[in-house]
Structure 1
Amino acid sequence: MGRKALILVEGHARDNGLRYVKAAQRLGLHPITLASNPTDYGYLASERSAAIRVDTSNLDALIRTCSQLRQSYDVAGITGFSGIDESVYATVGKLCRYFDLQGPNPAFIERCCDKFFQRQLLADGGVPVPAYRLATNATDVERSAAEIGYPVIVKPAVGSGSIGVRLCCTFSELAEHTTHLLGGKHVWPSSPRILVEEFVLGPFYSVEIMGNEVIGTVAVDFSPPPHFVFHKTTFPAPLADDDHERIAHLSLSSLRALGLGWGPTNMEFRWTKRGPVVIEINPRLAGALEPQLVQLASGVDLITEHIKLVIGEECDLRRSHSQTAAARFLVPDRDGILDWIDGVSRAAAVPGVAEVKLYIQPETPIVRKGDFRDWIGHIIAVSPSLAQTETILERAVALIDWSITPLPALG
């Protein structure tokens, strides 16, 4: 039998893709990425990691490619990334079933990725969720918002990364965003289906889960509305012990309602006056640096442990230390051309800064979209306490500066 290989379906444009490649290599595996366009993931070329171009929306094509690889390699496992198209992870489940490998149940993944169906299952399972309605046209959207009451969140029923998600406080804002979603600017994988839901007030949190074990809770701050662009994440969230127990109970109730419980899951919720209300369940690892924060703060490497599950080994979720890690995302306040960005090396030299990373280079056009694609970089800090970590982060952020030339006015 040939060398042990880990097949990765698609990659990840930010950090998780590279971290999966390196974790696989540390475990003695040969990572092979199957992607519709491998050049979308720059780390594959920089790391000289094996990649094969294949239509990842075509299950039969993926089965043929995996079958060919099994002639040369001992394929130990298959996993992948949801990215913008969350159907990829369901496809991973189907491949695992076909080749009798460890993996998620594809039927449960598919129904979880449909946010309307997910809402129904959670509500039926007694899990608190915002009031919600499904709409397929502008009239439905307007009626749903009127029934729920402003302000409302309007978003695609299928998608990730906050793409197409907006807070609408007035009828005019609702009409504007509905036109955006239905007028050809938003790409729909199938017929348009819009989720209109109650905007619940309260601090926002993200819970990291592996199997049926709650690893911890991340506190999340957003950039200014009407969009929901992650601005800052902190692990562990500063919560009382009783609150952590309540979150763990809510997390496990949500898993049961959705039929999940294998591999990584990410639960997002707001802590409202009536208690925690689930906003969304993602049947995958979170993509906004949470795995890095968890590892820095606790020593638990979620990516490595996920790969162990994929290849049939026992994972180890024991914490080796206790610190506080936080990330600040660099988000521009205007569109234009990035002239320059400075201070990266100075910020990286601040004691306690774990990483400073830029996603774009000078002379890059910036057109904000109101989602994760607006990030131009991040800074991560870690220390023994929350107050110290926040001080380190603020000091490093203050050292970063950039200039953006506005785009020429049209007309």
Structure 2
Amino acid sequence: MARRVLILVEGTRSNGLLYVQAAQRLGLHPITLSVDPAQYDYLAAEGSEAIRVDTGNLDALIGECSRLRATNDIAGITGLAGDDESVSTTVGKLCRHFDLPGPDPASIEGCCDKFTQRQLLAEAGVPIPAYRVAVNATEVESSAAEIGLPVVVKPAVGSGSIGVRLCRNVDELAEHTSYLLGGKHIWRSSPRILVEEFAQGPQYSATIMGNEVICISTCDFAPPPYFVYLGGTDPAPLTEHEHRRIADASLSCLRALGLDWGPTNVELRWTKRGPVVIEVNPRLGG
């Protein structure tokens, strides 16, 4: 009988071992595909199988998975995305190719572009901050004037709060715009900047699997102007009413974005008008 394998695209230094151990508990043989398996110490420590492959090359991944399928029963393909949603997109494409359950890659790609995400959420009536998109310093300045300072300025495509800053006055706005457009920030695509209303209030994170809210946690950050995540409290100390409002807002995001499979992380702030969605990530929280 062919062994049943779970293919893991890349790993993480923080919780990658948990994925390997969970697969083993389910009677599956985990195989990690990575551009550099040696960077994940737990693979060697556990004696877990790993294969070196360019995980940024979809054709190379399809070829390697096809080779593995010739002698194994592939039970599933998943990815340890960390803060990199591109892994989730790749996993979705692999699952579609091999007719395995997985996320819709088109929905993930739409979600990863923060401007597209904002548009889809706004069209669905999900409460979000006021926002504008800009491609140069003049547009950033006019967008901030329309919304009103303070504003949050961030790349339209990115993760891990890289390039995200609270701009409280025109000097900070000009400084951060210069940083983003002056060659210091590494862009994944053509430069586009989101200028957003600063939604003020305590921040929460909803962890969702499929269409079920698993938990809602508080989020604690270092002092502004940057949004450096320090930790949180799980579960968040919420009333039943607050919990329901946050859960309902989070699930409405999934419907708006077409995310109905696998893990999702929704970040919200509780403002004067209730929960306002800051960001939706098609993965577990980083």
Q: Could you tell me how far apart the structure 2 residues matched to 1:45 and 1:163 are?
A: 31
CA-CA distance at 1:176 after TM superposition: 1.8
Identity of aligned residues (%): 71
What is the correspondence of 1:251-290 to structure 2 with a 5 Å cutoff?
Answer: 251-287=250-286
Q: Give the SS at the match of 2:118.
A: helix
What is the correspondence of 1:119-138 to structure 2 with a 5 Å cutoff?
Answer: 119-138=118-137
The 8 Å contact of residues 209 and 263 in structure 2, kept in 1 or not, is answered as yes
CA-CA distance at 1:19 after TM superposition: 1.2
Equivalent in the alignment of 2:154: 155
Q: Could you tell me how far apart the structure 1 residues matched to 2:176 and 2:49 are?
A: 41
CA-CA distance at 1:215 after TM superposition: 1.4
Task: Flag the structure with larger Rg.
Answer: 1
Equivalent in the alignment of 1:5: 5
TM-score under structure 2 normalisation?
Answer: 0.96
The 8 Å contact of residues 44 and 50 in structure 1, kept in 2 or not, is answered as yes
CA-CA distance at 1:220 after TM superposition: 1.0
1:330-369 residue CA offsets vs partner (Å, 9 max, x unmatched)? xxxxxxxxxxxxxxxxxxxxxxxxxxxxxxxxxxxxxxxx
1:204-237 residue CA offsets vs partner (Å, 9 max, x unmatched)? 0000111111112101111111111112311110
Q: Could you tell me how far apart the structure 1 residues matched to 2:35 and 2:58 are?
A: 12
Answer with 41-50 or 2-11: which moved more: 41-50
Q: Could you tell me how far apart the structure 2 residues matched to 1:242 and 1:135 are?
A: 37
Structure 1 runs (4+) greater than 4 angstroms displaced? none
TM-score under structure 1 normalisation?
Answer: 0.67
Q: Could you tell me how far apart the structure 1 residues matched to 2:170 and 2:41 are?
A: 42
Report the CA distance shift for 1:135/1:45 in structure 2 as closer, same or farther (over 3 A).
Answer: farther
1:114-156 residue CA offsets vs partner (Å, 9 max, x unmatched)? 1110011011101000011112222222222222111111111
The 8 Å contact of residues 85 and 283 in structure 2, kept in 1 or not, is answered as no
Q: Give the SS at the match of 1:133.
A: strand
Structure 1, unaligned stretches of length 5 or more? 288-411
Size of the alignment, in residue pairs? 286
Higher relative contact order (CA 8 A, sep 6+): 2
CA-CA distance at 1:109 after TM superposition: 0.8
Q: Could you tell me how far apart the structure 1 residues matched to 2:143 and 2:38 are?
A: 42
Report the CA distance shift for 1:109/1:250 in structure 2 as closer, same or farther (over 3 A).
Answer: same
1:239-274 residue CA offsets vs partner (Å, 9 max, x unmatched)? 001111112211221111111121111110000001
The 8 Å contact of residues 82 and 285 in structure 2, kept in 1 or not, is answered as no
The answer to whether residue 61 in structure 2 is matched with residue 66 in structure 1 is: no
Report the CA distance shift for 1:42/1:192 in structure 2 as closer, same or farther (over 3 A).
Answer: farther
The 8 Å contact of residues 84 and 159 in structure 1, kept in 2 or not, is answered as no
Equivalent in the alignment of 1:331: none
Equivalent in the alignment of 1:188: 187
Q: Give the SS at the match of 2:195.
A: strand
- RMSD between aligned residues: 1.4
Q: Give the SS at the match of 1:235.
A: coil
Report the CA distance shift for 1:18/1:74 in structure 2 as closer, same or farther (over 3 A).
Answer: same
Q: Give the SS at the match of 2:153.
A: strand
Code of the residue aligned with 2:279 in structure 1: it is E
Q: Could you tell me how far apart the structure 2 residues matched to 1:3 and 1:278 are?
A: 43
Q: Could you tell me how far apart the structure 1 residues matched to 2:58 and 2:117 are?
A: 24
Code of the residue aligned with 1:154 in structure 2: it is V
The 8 Å contact of residues 83 and 160 in structure 1, kept in 2 or not, is answered as no
What is the correspondence of 1:46-57 to structure 2 with a 5 Å cutoff?
Answer: 46-57=45-56
Q: Could you tell me how far apart the structure 1 residues matched to 2:180 and 2:46 are?
A: 38
CA-CA distance at 1:85 after TM superposition: 2.9
Answer with 41-50 or 87-96: which moved more: 41-50
1:267-308 residue CA offsets vs partner (Å, 9 max, x unmatched)? 100000011100001111112xxxxxxxxxxxxxxxxxxxxx
Code of the residue aligned with 1:238 in structure 2: it is P
